[in-house]
Amino acid sequence: MKKVLISIAAIALVGSFGSVVAGDAAAGKAKSATCAGCHGAAGISAVPTYPNLAGQKEAYLVKAITDYKNKTRVDATMNAMTAGLSDADIANLAAYYSGL
């Protein structure tokens, strides 16, 4: 019985992580216009020094964008571009780009 309860708790915990990151890809696409100038309209950058966002893992994108917003990760352009994003905006952008 104890193993069953531990298993159920573990599944519930793992399942809760997905809901923290999951965003609305359609809303992310609408918000992505400002990102497209550097990262490309479809998340593929034409500039070799700018990273592609298309297909990146959703959790990675949430962390990277949040780190730029909080200035834990320092880049003057990205710090400025992310400063006004809400947590929902970040989740939505991550959902959009991870799905490309």
For residue 7, give the H/E element and its range. Answer: helix 2-21
CA neighbours within 13 Å on the CB side: how many for 16?
6
Tokens representing residue 72 in the block:
């834990």
| 39 contacts 52 by C-beta, under 8 angstroms | yes
Q: What is the mean pLDDT of residues 6-21?
A: 52
CA distance linking residue 38 with residue 7, whole number of Å: 45
On whether residue 52 sits in a domain, the answer given is yes
On whether residue 80 sits in a domain, the answer given is yes
| 22 contacts 10 by C-beta, under 8 angstroms | no
Total domains in the fold of the chain = 1
On whether residue 4 sits in a domain, the answer given is no
On whether residue 61 sits in a domain, the answer given is yes
pLDDT of residue 22: 85
Q: In terms of pTM, does the model score above 0.85?
A: no
Residues 6+ apart with CB under 8 A from 8: none
CATH of the domain at 35: 1.10.760.10
The amino acid sitting at 71 is: K
For residue 56, the enclosing domain spans 23-98
Q: Note the pLDDT tens digit of each residue in 17-69.
A: 444 558 999 999 999 999 999 999 999 999 999 999 999 999 999 999 999 99
On whether residue 14 sits in a domain, the answer given is no
On whether residue 50 sits in a domain, the answer given is yes
Identify the three-state secondary structure at position 57. Answer: coil
